[in-house]
Amino acid sequence: MSTAASARKLRMGMVGGGRGAFIGAIHRSAAALDGRIELVCGAFSSDPACALASGADLFLPPARCYESLAEMLRKESALPIGQRMDFLSIVTPNHLHAPMATAAVKAGFPVICDKPLAISLREALDLRAAVRAAAVPFALTHNYTGYPLVKEARALVRSGRIGTVRKVVVEYPQGWLATRIEATGHRQASWRTDPARAGLAGCIGDIGTHAENLAEYVTGLRIRELAADLTSFVDGRQLDDDANVLLRFEGGAKGALIASQIAVGEENNLSLRVWGSGGGIEWHQREPNSLWLKSADQPAQLLRTGTAGLSPAAAAATRLPAGHPEGYLEAFANIYRAFAVQVAAHLDGVSPPTHALDFPTIDDGVRGMAFIEAVVASSCANAAWTPLASDAAPSAMASTQPARAVRGER
Amino acid sequence: MSTAASARKLRMGMVGGGRGAFIGAIHRSAAALDGRIELVCGAFSSDPACALASGADLFLPPARCYESLAEMLRKESALPIGQRMDFLSIVTPNHLHAPMATAAVKAGFPVICDKPLAISLREALDLRAAVRAAAVPFALTHNYTGYPLVKEARALVRSGRIGTVRKVVVEYPQGWLATRIEATGHRQASWRTDPARAGLAGCIGDIGTHAENLAEYVTGLRIRELAADLTSFVDGRQLDDDANVLLRFEGGAKGALIASQIAVGEENNLSLRVWGSGGGIEWHQREPNSLWLKSADQPAQLLRTGTAGLSPAAAAATRLPAGHPEGYLEAFANIYRAFAVQVAAHLDGVSPPTHALDFPTIDDGVRGMAFIEAVVASSCANAAWTPLASDAAPSAMASTQPARAVRGER
Amino acid sequence: MSTAASARKLRMGMVGGGRGAFIGAIHRSAAALDGRIELVCGAFSSDPACALASGADLFLPPARCYESLAEMLRKESALPIGQRMDFLSIVTPNHLHAPMATAAVKAGFPVICDKPLAISLREALDLRAAVRAAAVPFALTHNYTGYPLVKEARALVRSGRIGTVRKVVVEYPQGWLATRIEATGHRQASWRTDPARAGLAGCIGDIGTHAENLAEYVTGLRIRELAADLTSFVDGRQLDDDANVLLRFEGGAKGALIASQIAVGEENNLSLRVWGSGGGIEWHQREPNSLWLKSADQPAQLLRTGTAGLSPAAAAATRLPAGHPEGYLEAFANIYRAFAVQVAAHLDGVSPPTHALDFPTIDDGVRGMAFIEAVVASSCANAAWTPLASDAAPSAMASTQPARAVRGER
Amino acid sequence: MSTAASARKLRMGMVGGGRGAFIGAIHRSAAALDGRIELVCGAFSSDPACALASGADLFLPPARCYESLAEMLRKESALPIGQRMDFLSIVTPNHLHAPMATAAVKAGFPVICDKPLAISLREALDLRAAVRAAAVPFALTHNYTGYPLVKEARALVRSGRIGTVRKVVVEYPQGWLATRIEATGHRQASWRTDPARAGLAGCIGDIGTHAENLAEYVTGLRIRELAADLTSFVDGRQLDDDANVLLRFEGGAKGALIASQIAVGEENNLSLRVWGSGGGIEWHQREPNSLWLKSADQPAQLLRTGTAGLSPAAAAATRLPAGHPEGYLEAFANIYRAFAVQVAAHLDGVSPPTHALDFPTIDDGVRGMAFIEAVVASSCANAAWTPLASDAAPSAMASTQPARAVRGER
């Protein structure tokens, strides 16, 4: 007799993330942190030897280290519930996200997938249809919204604390692609600058979409149209490595989105500033446990993770007392933790508690792809104002050619 | 026999800046700081009683307190050199800058003028012609370039320390106009939001032009074209109170300029970030004695005012040992100090030393007006890319109507 | 046939840390983070119902949830290797640390124990003797030394980068005990201010000892003597809640240690500054991924977690790319990870790799108790200079009465 | 008929501050900033040629450039009021402060003097008697208390906003004397490390006394007794270059004072933290326009110079709108401005307005000397608790030998 999922640890399978990969280890730590999820199987690499060795590194028995996702889905499905994997984590390069997620949900497995969701809006919409048809939980790891004070920022905006939102400035500067390291064999750089594996955008797809997701999450507003100026500063690079974008939101707010991978000396300086008619907020990933709340005619306040008086959403996302810094992994783990609650409810056939739904979903993924395509299309049209496609249907720009998107910009 | 100007204090006259004004006191302190300049006369107000009272506050004899600039120019010209004012400081609202400066230079007086130079590019060009014809020194108080570390930033870029400039982000957010305080009798707000006295732009003319000047000063690059989205967020306000602008520089660098007067809780947070192929710099007026210098694969360095190893230009602009903060007035005073050297050389009939030429001139003023007009024109055309007018001739957009500029934006 | 420990996950038992406790959950997350350690059993509470419920929360079978440490040691010892717990984590209040650790090591189990090691130096020395006799691995969770940049700071000092150390300022201010919350039923405050459960010191034992450990770890110097002024500011409190201490180190360096639990508004602002003859370093837990390196006549450098050029020790303690903040849990997990390597080697009967020995040991614990007793003795003697007891033998002051320690201070 | 002082600029004479000096130029800028004070004469150097050249640099006529203070006092006294100097500014090395101030006040001139007041408490008390007898205004330039937010901090404490003060940590680290630069001909270092010219203390007299003055000014509390550990880290140096001091204040507050001139890489990082039973404040000279106000269970607030809601004392000390940084010179100028009001009232024979009395006086100077002597005496006695001498009479320790004070410390 199988145990209810809510009464046991959840079993996770993983595709991608073998030796030498980057994001797979992040996902595993995030999943492990709260002691609720255990890794039970994986298809860690398309190279069988690497797949096996990677599994051994993770203390998995050889029988649960598969050579392909197809094999994993088939064999895991054959195991009894309570032994087989309860959900799949997808941590491959971008171009494999949608096909693999589609296969998994069709096999009935809940999926948690790295971003971006797909390499085109078309593909994203098809995946959404598959997820809806399968009726399984699906999470996308737009991890930055997992920070307690990002949740606090959202709660402050919702509460009306800063009035009507007027202006949004969101940034994500990095410097690691300031030279052509993809030509030196750098593994991450190699696929992230390759249209075949990364999709039609570089910088804007890799990090710009995080900025977009953060801005919409916190403000609760949707970008209506944008005017984007993409550049590929490094000679020989096919995809954009820099973006300056004007934003217009539904309801009249305006803003700018600045993303770059050639900002020498920058790390991962995601930041967000929002000003409304009655106040402002400011958050920087670099010191994620601080959130500025600004008011007219009052001193600015520094809200801090773990202190009294924060919103329930922020408090629920916090593990430590104030002053003991929480970081990127904890924010990432908040997505896994919330997703796990939903997966357990799904397996038990019950409704998840409302609070467990605070994680990025397939809809965030579709939205992100619409954003990427709008940015590329706008930039191809010399920064013409371009609407974001509605959820229902991709715009005609879905066929945009990535290489052309940036070549004309300089 | 008159004393050589270089052997005595320089005598300053002032127009504007009477009781209740703001910027006049700043100019007086900046002029006084180094003990080189003394205020000897003024036409502080168009109200005779106020003019006299203001002069008395400043320990001036009634005979040197005039009722109009015309009277001041006439009567001062009649005094012997060494007694009459050596130069004029103009600190009136914007619409009077050009007419008064024109009158003064035609009367042979060097002029130091608050920014912006004029209320249209056409007017600015006419003034430049008058200055050139009169062959007198002329300074414009784009004061932020007077900070030691702004000069250091410029020296770093010039030296090639950060390689070829690729990306520029310059910002000037304020929050003081987030509500319609001009309707409450607020004196500053009243004229700054009035097209008749402020010119065709609000936020972009008042502070956006400082940002433009800072970016061009530090990078040594000129903005080639821009795409601007101006907004007037506060109901009933005629001029823009917010701006998001995409920038393209000569030579291929790109960037964004963000200015706002509705960013609630912001003070005067002018900041500049520049990234080149080999490094980056970051400066914030809020802590003006710190300058970040970033490199690939090396820790960021925090350059500090007054420390060893800075450029001669930065060192010359510094008055104190490191750790004793210098501020806004000292930066402002650097313009007065440099201008005084040039005025003294002019009065003595000799050439000024090269280092004394490091202050904003009539050309910066013309450039600023070209910028303002380009921004307004672009915004009127729904953020269409708009070139900055060349110095020689204003573009057709000089006739842009300010009220229309922002009304269409929301 | 049993599997070698190095080829499987390590099994952890825990004593303390049931529902309502604080530090137990921290230890569990730290242990879980790297996927190397799994919790298999616990004696979570002296209350049998709570013990069982706490185990169920953690997905443990009832058979592995014990009512006492004695029961756990007996029953786990009876299980085969590869099934029984491989080591014990002790997360009880202070007064139980030494007795429980003694029992565990005598039963042959490696121990990782929360700090302080004991409630007196006498007890600490006895425990050390037991650990040495049992020849099992022993770790003490002075977690702050687990931060990558604390390790970098130590490496910088060792390398001679800042010359001969001259001055050390270490601080740990908190504000949570600024009022008498122990009288309101606050569980943490209750035992931490109770001499019977916390030992002879309050603030200095709870957080001052972390500061001492950090200072000695980074500088590699030992405190030779100290002059301490302890205070109990809150009426009715028996133990100190504030400390100012002058330090003299072996070799001539001097310094100050400042700790407080009545510093209203402070979180856990542990910080360290060290100056040597050729440079200085500065680190704050609040932003633990930044480390200032200062030099004469050179700009200060901001070293950052995860960047190129850091020491092997810092790099080994880092999980993420630069700019993705790591926090308290990751630092804590570094102790568990290093300890796990040593435990695995112990179980396999081999020598652990050298790098695995970089965690706090029983000797740090003895040192901490000598520090606490010296501080209390000095304060009782009106801040007289008091030597730290040598490792070999406790000083006569080991019998100091805690209540008297602070009462005379005001 | 002479003009009332209040209706004209005040005329300042200066002794010291010739070419090559440091602090003289600071005083002149501070005096000039507000346009209220003009320099009319000086005895800038004991070298007649330097005195004359220095005066010429400052645009003074040769007839007002004297070769000695005695000559200046004699000749200026002979000039009519309204032409002769109204007060004297003393900016010589320390050992000349008291003799020159004594001479000036006996001649009837108000004096503003650089700190420390004297080179011994005995001398300071004698000077105070002379000042009282002469009944002339006297100011001491403990300039750091001139910052607007230092005044705000004082106002906050006075208002009860942070409750009863419990703990004070005040620091002044510098690094410029980390090597023996006095042996290299460095002018400032030469006299500041020479007991004959600097007095009985080095670091503690030069900067430690600023820290003491700041702490007592803000808290309104007097240090009752202290335990000091002075060191002279640099070989061959006679005076202390480093200090760690435990403080006990009247009323039960405790604290620490840390000062150093060997803290490599530090500039002039004066900082103050005060915690009371209901809140805390934190201020750093490095960013002097920010003041943290901390509370239990509320977010910390960042008070900023020039914003609404600050105390009248802070507002009166502010010249610019918020966000336009004010610095060291402006704080210094606040002392001159307040002193000028008192001098004008004195010359007019009226009482000054109360607000004009907010500057450091002869009493602060006496207090500072008592502090210095207590620190040196304590350190000579191996950090024994030492009371500060009462104002009425110096303690027996006034005869302390400086060289012995530090030699015994290592």
Residues (pLDDT < 70) of chain A are 1-2, 391-410
Q: What is the pLDDT of residue A406?
A: 44
* Of A297, A303, A309, Cβ closest to residue D309: A297
* Of C22, C38, C324, Cβ closest to residue A328: C324
Q: What is the pLDDT of residue D139?
A: 98
Give the closest-approach CA distance of B152 to chain C in angstroms. Answer: 13
Q: What is the pLDDT of residue B391?
A: 62
CATH number of B147-322+364-407: 3.30.360.10
pLDDT interval class at D189 (50, 70, 90): confident
Strands (E), B192-278: 223-231, 242-249, 254-260, 271-276
Q: What is the pLDDT of residue B409?
A: 36
Q: Is the pLDDT of residue C404 over 70?
A: no
Q: Tens digit of pLDDT for each residue in D193-235?
A: 888 887 788 999 999 999 999 999 999 999 999 999 999 999 9
Q: Quick one: average pLDDT of C330-352?
A: 96
Q: Is the pLDDT of residue C186 over 90?
A: no
Q: Is the pLDDT of residue C35 over 60?
A: yes
Going by DSSP bridges, is the β-strand pair D111-113/D87-90 parallel, antiparallel, or unpaired? parallel
Q: B276 and A264: CB-CB below 8 Å?
A: yes
- ipTM at complex level: 0.93
Q: Quick one: average pLDDT of D375-397?
A: 79
Phi, psi (deg, nearest 5) at residue C247: -120, 140
Enumerate residues 6+ apart whose C-beta is below 8 A from C147. Answer: C283, C285, C288, C317, C326, C331, C334
D337 touches chain B (CB under 8 A): no
Going by DSSP bridges, is the β-strand pair D165-173/A298-304 parallel, antiparallel, or unpaired? unpaired
Helix (H, G, I), strand (E, B), or coil: what is residue D102?
helix
- Cβ neighbour number for residue D358 with a 10 Å cutoff: 17
Instruction: Give dist(CA A31, CA A28) in Å, integer.
Output: 5
DSSP B16: S
The share of chain C scoring above pLDDT 90, in percent, equals 84
* Partners of residue A286 in chain C, C-beta under 8 Å: 323, 325
Instruction: Give dist(CA D181, CA A351) in Å, integer.
Output: 75
* Partners of residue A300 in chain D, C-beta under 8 Å: 301-302, 304
Q: What is the pLDDT of residue B400?
A: 39
* Partners of residue D324 in chain B, C-beta under 8 Å: 267-268, 285, 327-328
Q: Which fold has domain A5-144+332-360?
A: Rossmann fold (3.40.50)
Q: What is the pLDDT of residue A186?
A: 87
Looking at chain A, which residue has its C-alpha nearest residue B382? A385
* Of D9, D269, D323, Cβ closest to residue B286: D323
Q: What is the pLDDT of residue D251?
A: 94
Show me where the domains of chain B are located: 5-144+332-361, 147-322+364-407
Size of chain B in residues: 410
pLDDT interval class at D407 (50, 70, 90): very low
Q: What is the pLDDT of residue B403?
A: 36
C-alpha to C-alpha distances, D172 to B395, C320, D169, nearest whole angstrom? 57, 37, 10
CATH number of C5-144+332-362: 3.40.50.720
**Adjacency order of strands within the sheet including D37-43:** D37-43, D10-15, D87-90, D111-113, D138-140
Consecutive H or E run containing C88: strand C87-90
Instruction: Give dist(CA B111, CA B68) in Å, integer.
Output: 16
Looking at chain B, which residue has its C-alpha nearest residue D5? B59
Strands (E), D104-185: 111-113, 138-140, 165-173
* Partners of residue A383 in chain B, C-beta under 8 Å: 227, 246, 383, 385
Looking at chain C, which residue has its C-alpha nearest residue B290? C299
Tokens of A288: 């994620």
Q: A309 and D293: CB-CB below 8 Å?
A: no
CATH number of C146-326+364-407: 3.30.360.10
Q: What is the pLDDT of residue A402?
A: 41
Q: C279 and D294: CB-CB below 8 Å?
A: no
* A153 neighbors A272 (Cβ within 8 angstroms): yes
Q: What is the pLDDT of residue C356?
A: 73
Q: What is the pLDDT of residue A357?
A: 82
Q: C246 and D244: CB-CB below 8 Å?
A: yes
Q: Which of residues 271-310 of C touch B (CB under 8 A)?
A: 293, 297-304, 307-309
Q: What is the pLDDT of residue B2?
A: 64
- Mutation target to probe the B interface, by most B beta carbons within 10 A, among C287, C301, C305, C310 is C301
* Partners of residue B293 in chain C, C-beta under 8 Å: 299
A237 touches chain B (CB under 8 A): no
Domain D5-144+332-361 has CATH 3.40.50.800: no
Q: Which of residues 124-183 of B touch A (CB under 8 A)?
A: 162-163, 166-167, 169, 171, 173, 175, 178-179
C-alpha to C-alpha distances, C119 to A339, C95, C135, C361, C397, nearest whole angstrom? 43, 6, 23, 17, 13
Closest CA to C58 of C39, C43, C30: C39
Q: Tens digit of pLDDT for each residue in D97-115?
A: 999 999 999 999 999 999 9
Judged by average pLDDT, the poorest of B113-122, C195-204, D117-126 is C195-204
* C340 neighbors C10 (Cβ within 8 angstroms): yes
Q: What is the pLDDT of residue A2?
A: 64
Residues (pLDDT < 70) of chain B are 1-2, 391-410
A49 touches chain D (CB under 8 A): no
Give the closest-approach CA distance of B265 to chain A in angstroms. Answer: 5
* Of A293, A301, A309, Cβ closest to residue D297: A309
Q: What is the pLDDT of residue C391?
A: 62
* Partners of residue C289 in chain B, C-beta under 8 Å: none
Give the closest-approach CA distance of A386 to chain B in angstroms. Answer: 12
Q: Is the pLDDT of residue C402 over 50?
A: no
Going by DSSP bridges, is the β-strand pair D242-249/D254-260 parallel, antiparallel, or unpaired? antiparallel
Q: Is the pLDDT of residue D73 over 70?
A: yes
Q: C178 and D266: CB-CB below 8 Å?
A: no
Q: What is the pLDDT of residue D2?
A: 62
* Of C297, C302, C309, Cβ closest to residue B302: C302
Enumerate residues 6+ apart whose C-beta is below 8 A from A22. Answer: A188, C321
* A241 neighbors A233 (Cβ within 8 angstroms): yes
> What counts of helices (H) and strands (E) characterise chain B?
14, 14
Q: What is the pLDDT of residue A398?
A: 34
pLDDT interval class at D406 (50, 70, 90): very low
**One-letter amino acid for residue B342 of the chain:** Q
Tokens of B165: 């400039």
B58 touches chain D (CB under 8 A): yes
Domain D146-321+364-407 has CATH 1.10.3720.10: no
Pure H helices in C135-199? 148-158, 187-192, 195-198
- Mutation target to probe the C interface, by most C beta carbons within 10 A, among B161, B282, B298, B311 is B298
Angle between helices D148-158 and D209-219 (to 10 degrees): 50
Tokens of C336: 């568990």
- Global pTM? 0.95
